[in-house]
Structure 1
């Protein structure tokens, strides 16, 4: 028996990395009976007696997992937004942030293509960057073609971490990963101008080496709904709202129509971004209006 980490899953085979070697394994039949699906990123115990094919015998407890993309034990999610083509979209960025916060994963924000925007666009983007930094998020502004200074800074983010990359198509996710590690040769695709978005070019999930860390090479979040988040959990996914929650008059305050709400008072005083609060209310309404699950 040996221990390792699944770095790729494809067609019923699990590729387990252990002591620098990768072993092709199948899952035990008992997993199906117990409704256990090994995921990329899982730490596992496997039987490697057969040099050609081993068996995954046990999946160790996970610290977190994502359904789409199916990957486990993630340290951080790098959300890539572009300043232009497609245009910077704060609502979409907040949607990604909420989904990542709900999983207890650390979010980091990269905004690409800073070198091909006008001065007025730059002021608009800089305002949002300051806003997110004040909340406590790490934000990096990147060029469309990465320079050496940027690349060395980016590498430090990946070091000793397992990362997932999130963001709509066409924002340059694969491009900067290829720049950090040219051996990857991840497929990139030109943005589809008619749709205003890129085409998905990635198929299965695999952990690839970038810098001194691992990155899930995956299409990213194929669904952006809040099916796994309850209304009373949403404020925990907005750090600045969660911080003020204890000061609301009513326990269980939803920061919507309740009186003497510390969050609404902070919005009125410009201590919390009005736009972020609007997005919170929009997401809250979306969760409250979804059909009940039985």
Structure 2
């Protein structure tokens, strides 16, 4: 969109409601992709406009009629302009993302939280675990949202948050401090299990990169702003998943469970391992490509397929 269009808006729009309405119109006309925490133009506008004004997003009803200064309007409209022209996801423009009802700091060093595993955490893994886990591992933690959310749900648990990226762990540490869970969540720099302390976890959660180079070319432009290390696996979308599965027998407690997100690589996993009874989890709030396995199933899988014994 041309600059004159945005300059005119900064002059004419007066209230928060004006900005929200105008944002929705602009976003709809620009044919944006919504896949980083929202699925429609209105929610996208709310998550941009209110944080840009340093207002909580749940204050909509009280604040919408509030008039804005010219400098406030210019600041918000500049972000709207970047969202449209550069296709930058809203969370990178505001440095805010929401997961399990909690706000997390994010920037381009980490993938934006959006895993359906959040629904399982909010439900305390009902139907999947019988006892509250004492030791939890969050593999490929990124922003730390899964580890921190688990800590808030299970305050007695000790949780290790692992990532290969020092940049990502800097964000993890920032969010750990913000949520006051420093005593319970430990960030660990490691290439999967290579630098891990030897312990047995009651619950291991993994959300590794699972987009291959070929699929990257077909992704909406918004995804290209995310760090490749947290998104791309190379030519084989299952590379990291298989590495994780091959090591689990040494880290998962006898009664423990493993939960992993593989997204659109779900069909590849089923095709490659047709004899494995993956438990694919169904979500009420949308999302798929998340499976659960017990330690016994993992050992059977490793023994059955030579790929894990090289």
Instruction: Judge same fold: TM > 0.5, yes or no.
Output: no
TM-score, structure 1 as length reference: 0.28
TM-score, structure 2 as length reference: 0.27
Higher helix share: 2
Higher strand share: 1
